[in-house]
Amino acid sequence: MKKIILDTDPGVDDAMAIAYALTHPEIELMALTVVFGNINIDFATRNAQYILNELGATDVAVAKGAAIPSVQSPLPHADFVHGADGLGNVYPGSRPGIPATTAASLNPDAKHAKVDALDAADFIINAAKENPGEITLVAVGPLTNIAEALRREPELPGLVAGLVIMGGTVDEPGNVSPVAEANFLNDPHAADALFAADWPTTIVGLDVTHKIMLGDSHLKSLDDRAGESGKLIWESSRFYVDFYTNSGAAKEAAEQGAEPQCAMHDAAAIAAVIIPDAFTMVRGAARVVHDGIAIGQLALDRKGYAYAIPHWNNRPPTSVCMDVDDVRVRNHFLQTLIDHHLR
């Protein structure tokens, strides 16, 4: 059994990752630690509670974390991707077009899982100390919570089994700039700080997540066969799929007759924990650019040469996923939810 704390900013694809982790029989989902990102922190926390409630997992802890990046000013939330409520505008009481800054007050009496008294960073630290060497941190939002936990407890890398991050890109074009992925751009200082620490770290970035696409036929199969998990994913994905079908490679595919589809970004990080051999990785010292035209870029030293500038020197190697058996990962995700859904 693999113990996981999922650091998340729910998020349509976050909901997929949460459902995947909850239903897989080899995972014990200990908590959702919540960070700003796809939506503001109040909405993200409420969405985490709502997802757990809908999936019948209200005993999973929720810990509210960072509302803003560690250094830079906050960037706009991606409501054009995830909807005004962060979940494709399916949350009870939400309406398309309601600004995320005001929507957190909607439906305050809805039933939710409980928010822990500790903030996300302290929750991570305490859980790691109580379960030394047993917990894998899976981060699928901006890395502010994990970096703050590391700042408070420098021994954290030795207390966890590993860190798996959905973020960044090496060869694949970025989704928020030509070189940057959204989670890294939202807090590049936090991401860079984590790659300076010596712990087993795996990056699951756009180089692989853009290869693992879910078509509407896959999503409808979940709706029909995966209980409340499938229903939630189907309904929340309507807005998300519409965004993908009108942009980028998915738009090009649709114009050539392909069915509407979307990427399952965050769920791929769960797959990297369960079936790591489905991914092909390279290793090297990693940096994340803090500012300038390339802000948010993952800069990976794949060769280990003696370069003229020292910025990669003395950094431990990080594993970065560069290729994937996309059919295997997609089928594993779908079958897990169909075979093991909670409700």
What residues act catalytically? 9, 265
What are the DSSP E strand ranges found in 170-217? 201-204, 213-215
Distance CA 48, CA 112 (A): 9
φ and ψ at residue 214, rounded to 5 degrees: -105, 120
Nearest to 33, CA basis, from 195, 204, 148: 148
Contact 9, 34 (CB under 8 A): yes
Angle (CA) 190 194 199, round 5°: 165
Strand partners, 127: none
Q: Are 296 and 188 in contact (CB under 8 A)?
A: yes
Distances 9 to 6, 142, 170, 224, 277 between C-alpha atoms, Å: 10, 8, 23, 27, 27
Distances, alpha carbon 20 to alpha carbons 32, 141, 192, 340, in Å? 13, 16, 28, 9
CA separation for the pair 22, 60 (Å, rounded): 9
Cα distances (Å, whole numbers) of residue 220 to 107, 130, 150, 227: 28, 41, 41, 12
The dihedrals phi and psi of 213, each to the nearest 5 degrees, come to -105, 140
Give CA–CA dist 27/277, Å, rounded.
17
- Taking a C-beta distance cutoff of 8 angstroms, is the pair 37, 167 a contact? no
Q: Kindly report the number of other CB atoms within 10 A of residue 226's CB atom.
A: 25
The backbone torsions φ and ψ at residue 341, rounded to the nearest 5 degrees and listed phi first, read -60, 150
Tokens 């998020």 belong to which residue?
11
